[in-house]
Structure 1
Amino acid sequence: MGPATAWETAADPGLRDVLRYLQTGEALGPLSEEIDALVDTFNKDREWVNRVLTYEQETEMRCRRAREEALEQGIEQGMDRLGTLIGRLIDAGRLDDAKRVSEDAAYRDKLLSEFRLQG
């Protein structure tokens, strides 16, 4: 049974009414008539609709900005740790290790841990 006919077989009259409304758009019972009136009211209230849309858009933009800032901050911190690690390796005369950490992520993690520079 697909969603198109679910309302036809629903035992509960209220559920049948709502499912029929969702499928057909016909408000034929008390609950669907109430829902339809609310939908109509909110659709006519453009100020309310605009406030909701504006709030959603602003929230989405804030979340996107926060993700971008977190990513940038993470990249900066990672670069700082890598720079510190390479500097310490060079100071210790471990030039081969310095070259290897720039190419091998697993080895870099091992040495970050060895030098207690992990994030």
Structure 2
Amino acid sequence: MKNSAHTQSTTSLPRAPHDEVHSRSTRYLIMMGVRVLCFILMVFVQPFGWWTWIFGAGAIFLPYIAVVLANVGEDGKTINAVPPGRELEAHPTPPPSSDAHDEVITVRETREIPHPDHAPKDPS
């Protein structure tokens, strides 16, 4: 296993792809709602004046801005990593007492192959 000087922290991981797509879709839909509002205000606000041109520009240019912002991922954002902290204090363990018994535990990870003399006979 590689030891690295910088350990990966859960708080320094990027967002999940599903969450990132949801965030971009929400941002796009909000901007399209603002565009529709600009269009409605451009048509219905009376008397026409300089704000009519602002609403018209919003209705025209917001789709382009919304698409560009929706396609930009969050790769460029810096992630403020929080270093993991120690939750429990580590106390030194006392040395084992002299009357403690050393036990050996054997773990077998493969099944035992029976000897050919002890193999079950085929009843056929």
Higher relative contact order (CA 8 A, sep 6+): 2
Normalised by the size of structure 1, how large is the TM-score?
Answer: 0.28
Q: Which has the higher helix share?
A: 1
Please say which structure displays the higher CA radius of gyration. 2
